[in-house]
Amino acid sequence: MAQTNIIVNATALDKSGALSILRQFVDNIPNDNHRWLIFISDKITLSTNNKNVRLESISGVKSMPKRFWWDIIGLRKWLKDYNINPVAAISLQNTGFKVGKSVPSFIYYHQPLPFFNISWNPLKKTERSFWFYKYIYPFFVSLFLTKSTRIFVQLDFIRKEFARHFHHPENIIDVFSPSIVKPSTCHSKEDKSDALTIFYPAMGYFYKNHRVIVDALELTNQNIEVYFTTDKPTDYKQDNRIHWIGQVSYDQVCQMYDNCDAVVFPSYIETYGLPLVEAAMTGVPIIASDLPYAREVLNGYEGVTFVEYDNSKAWAKAINSLDKGIRYKPLDISNRAGWPELFQKIFSNL
């Protein structure tokens, strides 16, 4: 007799924010009578105490051609070989897949690049992958998309853009926030310095836009100390006010939220902008790019100033307006729908 399972495809989620989505999904699966079969990458270590969840490592399907083969043929063949009967198909990696029968399908979509009005040059090595995800990747998203596929996204901005871009019904696109743990309160060190301390927790990707902060500092003579959680690029000139501290632990990030006078976030491409929410939950002043993702995740927070992401003069003006030691009422996100509501939505459509 065939085993009945909810099938989850997540073989491409092996690093960074995508891997966090997979871990959160697995951790939040209700421990009930539903049986789950989750295909994951063999490059990661993942476990669960939920006896109804089976994690199956799959190798050799990371590249786009091999992933395409797995989504169309390989996964369906695997189910047939092991006599698995799918009752639902859930993709956590933006694109759907074939299971060999008509069952409810769901896609957790978290690739924002097609929705940002930014052009990329495929001839530049640093921009080639962005060009692919903006102009080519949507074809793979559309390939398995039907008018009944239910879509899960993290922001209403993405919901609206997905509906417009893929001509998909808005009423079957749902918004669910990822898990966000309020940063632990650290014992702030006594600050005897007169310098204004500014913190930017972000990797060194060029779209994180560290350059605009560096340029803004050249327009101010204030006593400022800026901390970037990445290594110093070779093409940046020395500025003793900037500290390139490299990647730091989450505990250190939490301590910086407590000790800094402001968090800046000039990134112009984001799926969600988790540091923005973390910082707002501590009440620290924030200067953020005036873009839909930042407006949405910080909705209701009084301590934010929005600035054009590429306007160094505007960033300098916002930085000059900061004062030391100011704190605001922390952002409350307890009423935002999250993983429990997402699983309720899945079960109600089975």
Separation between Cα atoms, residue 64 and residue 76, nearest integer Å:
18
Residue with tokens 């924010």: 17
Specify whether the CB–CB gap between 227 and 241 falls below 8 A. no
Separation between Cα atoms, residue 324 and residue 335, nearest integer Å:
31
Separation between Cα atoms, residue 264 and residue 275, nearest integer Å:
10
pLDDT at position 186:
58
Q: What would the DSSP string read from start to end of 129-151? A: HHHIIIIIHHHHHHHT--TT-EE
Q: What is the pLDDT of residues 261-298, one digit of tens each?
A: 999 999 999 989 899 999 999 999 999 999 999 999 99
| H-helix or E-strand spanning residue 263 | strand 262-265
Of 159, 181, 339, nearest to 250 (Cα)? Answer: 181
Residue 94 has pLDDT above 80, yes or no: yes
Separation between Cα atoms, residue 265 and residue 120, nearest integer Å:
22
Sheet containing 286-289: which strands, arranged edge to edge?
A: 242-244, 224-228, 196-200, 262-265, 286-289, 304-307
Q: Which of 154-168, 173-187, 207-221 has the lowest mean pLDDT?
A: 173-187
**Structure-block tokens of residue 83:** 């006599």
Separation between Cα atoms, residue 191 and residue 197, nearest integer Å:
10
Residue 5 has pLDDT above 60, yes or no: yes
Residue 19 has pLDDT above 70, yes or no: yes
Residue 147 has pLDDT above 60, yes or no: yes
The residue-averaged pLDDT of 322-333 equals 93
Distance of CA 150 to the CA centre of its chain: 20
Residue 17 has pLDDT above 90, yes or no: no
The residue-averaged pLDDT of 319-341 equals 94
Residue with tokens 């893929």: 166
pLDDT at position 2:
59
Separation between Cα atoms, residue 49 and residue 154, nearest integer Å:
26
| H-helix or E-strand spanning residue 41 | strand 36-41
Residue with tokens 């409810």: 104
Q: Who's near 98: CB < 8 A, 6+ residues apart? A: 71, 72, 73, 75, 76, 144
Separation between Cα atoms, residue 343 and residue 30, nearest integer Å:
8
pLDDT at position 188:
55
Q: What is the CA radius of gyration of the chain?
A: 22
Residue 187 has pLDDT above 60, yes or no: no
**Structure-block tokens of residue 215:** 């340029």
What single-letter amino acid sits at 201?
P
Residue 190 has pLDDT above 90, yes or no: no
Residue 191 has pLDDT above 70, yes or no: no
**What's the whole-model pTM score?**
0.90
Q: What is the pLDDT of residues 334-350, one digit of tens each?
A: 899 999 999 999 999 98
Separation between Cα atoms, residue 44 and residue 12, nearest integer Å:
10
Residue 126 has pLDDT above 90, yes or no: no
| H-helix or E-strand spanning residue 38 | strand 36-41
